[in-house]
Amino acid sequence: MHVNNRKEEKMYLEKINQPADVRNLNKEQLEALAAEMRTALLNKLSKHGGHFGPNFGMVEAIIALHYVFDSPKDKMVYDVSHQSYCHKMLTGRKDAFLYEEKYDDVSGYSNPEESEHDFFNIGHTSTSVSLACGLAKSRDLKGEKENIIAIIGDGSLSGGEALEGLDFAPELKSNMIIVVNDNDMSIAENHGGMYQNLKLLRDTEGKAECNLFKAMGLDYLFVKEGNDVEKLIEAFQKVKDINHPIVVHICTQKGKGYALAEEHKEQWHWCMPFDKETGKSTVSFDGEDYGSMTAEFLMKKMKEDKTLVGITSATPTVFGFTEDKRKEAGSQFVDVGIAEEHAVALASGIAANGGNPVYGVYSTFIQRTYDQLSQDLCINNNPATILVFAASVYGMNDVTHLGIYDIPMMSNIPNLVYLAPTTKEEYLAMIEWSISQKEHPVAIRVPGGAVISDGKTVTKDFGKLNQYEVTQKGNKVAILALGTFYSLGQEVAKEIAKETGVQPTLINPMYITGTDDKLLEELKAEHQVVITLEDGVLDGGFGEKISRFYGASDMKVLNYGLKKEFIDRYDVNEVLKENRLTKEQIVEDTMKLC
Amino acid sequence: MHVNNRKEEKMYLEKINQPADVRNLNKEQLEALAAEMRTALLNKLSKHGGHFGPNFGMVEAIIALHYVFDSPKDKMVYDVSHQSYCHKMLTGRKDAFLYEEKYDDVSGYSNPEESEHDFFNIGHTSTSVSLACGLAKSRDLKGEKENIIAIIGDGSLSGGEALEGLDFAPELKSNMIIVVNDNDMSIAENHGGMYQNLKLLRDTEGKAECNLFKAMGLDYLFVKEGNDVEKLIEAFQKVKDINHPIVVHICTQKGKGYALAEEHKEQWHWCMPFDKETGKSTVSFDGEDYGSMTAEFLMKKMKEDKTLVGITSATPTVFGFTEDKRKEAGSQFVDVGIAEEHAVALASGIAANGGNPVYGVYSTFIQRTYDQLSQDLCINNNPATILVFAASVYGMNDVTHLGIYDIPMMSNIPNLVYLAPTTKEEYLAMIEWSISQKEHPVAIRVPGGAVISDGKTVTKDFGKLNQYEVTQKGNKVAILALGTFYSLGQEVAKEIAKETGVQPTLINPMYITGTDDKLLEELKAEHQVVITLEDGVLDGGFGEKISRFYGASDMKVLNYGLKKEFIDRYDVNEVLKENRLTKEQIVEDTMKLC
């Protein structure tokens, strides 16, 4: 795969300024283009990190799509954008893959602000078929004729929205092409009964009568050689301008063209910067992380409680369940595949029958479960535990993966106890409490940023709900510093003491879902200002509840958190400053009220 | 069906105090029991209203389930509870169907507080398989052996959560019985490609190779005679104690046993009280309703704009699209079936390609789309219109169908413009604006209660976001009365003027999603108290944003709305009183601050 002559490496890719340029190449040239694209991917990803496996497997398919279809008139929608890198290379954005200084010119996801060839910002899975159905419906209403193509990976198929979309598509009764990229892998291995059917279809070269897609009412075409550009062109030409919805099931090899990625598919789904020769990460993390800590803790508990069961929706390592740990946990670990809604309902069902479920999930993906949290879990008040990771401005910073909305999304659902630990010790104590109680559905907002450990033994009974902890008694100013922002609260407290000579009160609220009315009432006696700090958007969040509490009183309240807006590829420090979330700004504001 | 001798009617049902009593009856007696159950259903529903069709079709199946399985050791989970009435009759709750004075002793949904035979409060569709998977997983972890049975209607199958559940079930590799009640109907007619497959399976008596359930990895058993108690018993006996998941596909007749309901299946899915002989409703509604008004308005607009398209997720009449109107709208009306997630993504896709989608949906069901609102719609800022119905304390009052959570759920998502009209005129003007603009995703919170019309022409440009309307200038007290509660605001204003001689300022905020900072700032000059009124839970809602705005000022703020709690079968006036939402209480609180 490595081509020695660097000039030659870019013989074709360098000249692709638009999809039409792809159509001028012959078969050999298209294959050379594929090799160049892989080299570019390898170079960029080794320095920059990103989604590796999905893009390497789809090089030929993307070339063939642009060879056959006429983008942007014909419209392609890439599910979860996992296969969008190659699409970007062929739609005027090659420089962002060829030249290191331009790597950051494009996002890792499809993005209409970048190009007329992208129709949506997409970052969550399982949405492409439904979005493409919308494009197609609109086309039909307008009496137009273009092709609409959804490209979806096998792993994304298990998500409810994708299945709803597949079921609906036949109702369109008009052109709609659904390319199913079957690489026999989700992020981790695939889970779910439908993967047996995909295997059957692969084994029979699409000929098996029992066919998930046909059962959904869709026409079907099987393409065995999903990494053969000629075969793919042939297949796509066959379905171009078709007058009804069809699934084109292509079999590709995840990570194709990079031996290590072909072998270790899960590991190479996404990568940090790495050494191209050895595949070893060039970025090293020192110290503890909340993920590994969680798995270790739960593994220990699983031995004592055979009904304790870890649940993931296709991202087991978010809470430290690497392959070896999953094996060790055996039936006490369940990967439901990409199916967050099912995960929450499953947890509720397990708890209802006396089991002890712990669901580990990213903040951005728990968004997919509002109704399950409300209806399946909280109305039934079942004692499941949900661990919410990357719920922080310090989490992922792509617009589609923000971890700053879980507080408004979850905390206003009745019965849920949503906790915000500030240290490792509190975090583990909260899990311990949650898995030992049978009264409440509990979610824990795992702190963002580096692990903070103070070595303190936590003896608090979390079952006495909504009792905040006063960690420093003072007067005049009280600071309610929630979760990750507790350390910011400490700094602010220090600074205020320095500036005014008066020690403020510092409070670790711990409970996001309720107010400590007694404490808040007591604060009135010796405080004039209450400051709230939270690591998330202000709207619908924690601080507003405190403002409401003091609405009719003389207490002045300052709420700090993030503005309600979609931010993309941001610099944390800039965002904090824009939201007046620096120590200096907070102290400045406070001084005005003192 | 009508048995003349009233005493005879209850010969068997009267003696069923527990499921074991069913097992003492022979075939003829079971059939007589079925007839008695239908009579009881007919009597109760004709006086009380409720879910008609689904329960009438499932009488024999529920009898057979309780004949074969040993509830509550064996556990049954009824999807959306639509088939739970008969289950309730056989599990100690017959009196609530036999005696009018006891009709209200049970809810219309499965309910663990009522009986050990119910395992969850269930009211939303498509959740049973996932919840049952949880029960089964827990059973396996505990090393127990009972049967777990999910009972799901064909209409609920299209919901994403149900499909995620079906896909996951085979992973259990243990006992799990999924009874699919196929009556060839959702609430309205079924929509989606999978229904072709169900038809194929019915036509081939389950023998077709292409089988959705098998494609999902599930074992499969077909029962043609879904209203034959003997055949059903036979089938259930066959799958009892099975060691892997299996779908039992039973074909039933919706509304069976009541001629009118057999014929008009959609109409008789759910009923108001009616005359048993004629089937005519005994409750009459006078005057306008927002549903019909909406369909009429949109039908007119559809003629002018061929890209305008109404979307429903299986409840077309919520915004007035009765069968005749749907026919008239033709391709400009889409029923996606029970698939709310898909509906929102579809709307986003339609808007992205220049079309003009309007999705009409109940408040309680828009809950199923948080991630689609955020990711598919709002990040992409596509100009779709969503009409949110029954979003009010005056809406449905079952715990699973509350319409008081949409404000916290939706309004804290960036980019969305969520509007709260107070009159018919404002409502139609808002739709008119929304479908004529291309800048924002817009949701409109259709007022609860009776239609209020003041005949005023609305000239406001809603595109100038977050400009509240001052409808009465006054001083000292300002009342921000949102949406449905605007009339309460008017009453409070009058009362305060009467009590104090000072005219308060009255404001119609209209915008739920943003604050009118200029106006709020100006209020400081001549007002000491701001009151907010909203028809929904306070937590994460509109009023808290106002409290936050005034946090650092001297303005006193009183937020009125509902407490964050799950309330069930409530009396509106009691709930309002408990939340200090009466005119008198609000004035009393305000006087204390003036």
Q: A336-377, pLDDT tens digit by residue?
A: 999 999 999 999 999 999 999 999 999 999 999 999 999 999
| ipTM surpasses cut 0.90 | yes
Measured between beta carbons, the chain B residues lying within 8 angstroms of A159 are 160, 164
Q: Do residues A307 and A411 share a domain?
A: yes
Q: Over 90: is that where the pLDDT of A55 sits?
A: no
pLDDT confidence bin for B186, thresholds 50/70/90: low
Note whether A375 contacts B337, CB cutoff 8 Å.
no
Q: Does B414 touch chain A (CB under 8 A)?
A: yes
Pairing of strands B505-508, B556-562: unpaired
Q: Residue B139 corresponds to which tokens in the numbers above?
A: 């059973």
- pLDDT higher than 90, residue B35: yes
Nearest by CB to B379, from A357, A399, A541: name it.
A399
Written as six digits, the tokens of B534 are: 């909203």
A457: in domain: no
| The last residue of a domain, from among A412, A445, A478 | A445
Q: How far apart are CA A579 and CA A539, in angstroms?
A: 13
In a domain, B112, yes or no: yes
> For residue A280, is it within any domain?
no
How far apart are the C-alpha atoms of B537 and A413, rounded to whole Å? 10
A409 in contact with B, Cβ within 8 Å? yes
pLDDT of residue B272 exceeding 90, the answer is no
Q: What amino acid occupies position A530? A: V
Model confidence at B552, in pLDDT bands (50, 70, 90)?
very high
| Chain segment A450-495, per-residue pLDDT in tens | 999 999 999 999 999 999 999 999 999 999 999 999 999 999 999 9
Q: For residues A399 and A490, state if they share a domain.
A: no
Structure confidence by residue, pLDDT tens digits, A531-585: 999 999 999 999 999 999 999 999 999 999 999 999 999 999 999 999 999 999 9
Q: State the helix-helix crossing angle for A160-168 and A128-142, rounded to 10 degrees.
A: 30
- Domain range holding B492? 469-593
Lowest mean pLDDT among A82-86, A204-208, B28-32: A82-86
Q: Does residue B101 sit in the same domain as residue B234? A: yes
Is residue B383 domain-resident? yes
Hey, is the C-beta of B326 within 8 angstroms of any chain A C-beta? no
The answer on pLDDT for B5 being more than 50 is no
Cβ <8 Å between A158 and B166: no
pLDDT grade for B261, boundaries at 50, 70 and 90? confident
Pairing mode of beta strands B176-182, B75-78: unpaired
Do A315 and A244 reside in the same domain of the chain?
Answer: no
Which residue among B192, B375, B409 sits closest to A124, beta carbon to beta carbon? B375
Asked if A350 and B137 come within 8 Å (Cβ–Cβ), the reply is yes
Chain A closest CA to B261's CA: distance in Å?
27
Which residues 6+ apart lie within 8 Å of A453 measured at CB?
Answer: A288, A423, A424, A425
- Determine what percent of chain A is predicted with pLDDT higher than 90: 88
CATH at A539 = 3.40.50.920
Interface of B with A in 199-218 (CB under 8 A): 209-212, 214-218
Q: In chain A, which among 492-521 make CB contacts under 8 A with chain B?
A: none
Cα B11 from Cα B18, distance rounded (Å):
15
Residue numbers of B between 175 and 194 with CB closer than 8 Å to A: 191-194
Residues 337-396 of A with CB under 8 A from B: 337, 339, 341-342, 345-355, 357, 367-372, 374-376, 378-380
What are phi and psi for residue B91, nearest 5 degrees? -120, 50
HSE-CB at B310 with a 13 A cutoff on CA atoms is 33
B contacts of A138 (beta carbons < 8 Å): 307, 349-355
Structural domains of chain B, count: 3
B539 touches chain A (CB under 8 A): yes
Is A163 at the interface with chain B, CB within 8 A? yes
Measured in whole angstroms, the distance separating CA B232 from the mean position of its chain's CA atoms is 31
* Structural domain ending residue among the three candidates A220, A242, A271: A271
Chain B nearest C-alpha distance from A258 (Å): 32
- With respect to residue B381, please indicate whether it lies within any of the assigned structural domains: yes
Structure tokens at A426: 């509190």
- Identify which of A171, A214, A339 has the shortest CB distance to residue B191: A171
For A124-156, how does the pLDDT look when each residue is reduced to its tens digit (9 = 90+)?
A: 999 999 999 999 999 999 999 999 999 999 889
Q: Which residue of B has its CA nearest to A309?
A: B141
Least confident range of A253-267, A503-517, B212-226, B324-338: A253-267
Q: Is B324 left (phi over 0), alpha (psi -120 to 50) or beta?
A: alpha
Over residues B333-383, the pLDDT tens digits come to 999 999 999 999 999 999 999 999 999 999 999 999 999 999 999 999 999
Across the interface, which of A171, A350, A371 has its CB nearest the CB of B124?
Answer: A371
CA-based nearest residue to B544, from A417, A479, A411, A484: A411
Do residues B37 and B149 both lie within one domain? yes
Q: Does residue B328 lie within any of the structural domains?
A: no
Residue B335 in domain = no
Query: Which of B141, B414, B548 is nearest residue A307 as measured by Cβ atoms?
Result: B141
How many Å separate Cα B370 from the centre of its chain? 16
Given A242, A271, A300, which residue is the final one in a domain?
Answer: A271
In this prediction, residue B148 carries a pLDDT of 98
pTM of the model: 0.96
Q: Which amino acid is at B316?
A: P
Please compute Rg for chain A using Cα positions. 26
Q: Please, which residues 85-114 of chain A have a Cβ atom closer than 8 Å to chain B?
A: 112
B171 vs A: CB within 8 A: yes
To which H or E segment does residue A558 belong?
Answer: strand A556-562
- Does B303 reside within a domain? no
Give the per-residue pLDDT at A8: 46
> Are A217 and B209 inside 8 Å of each other by CB?
no
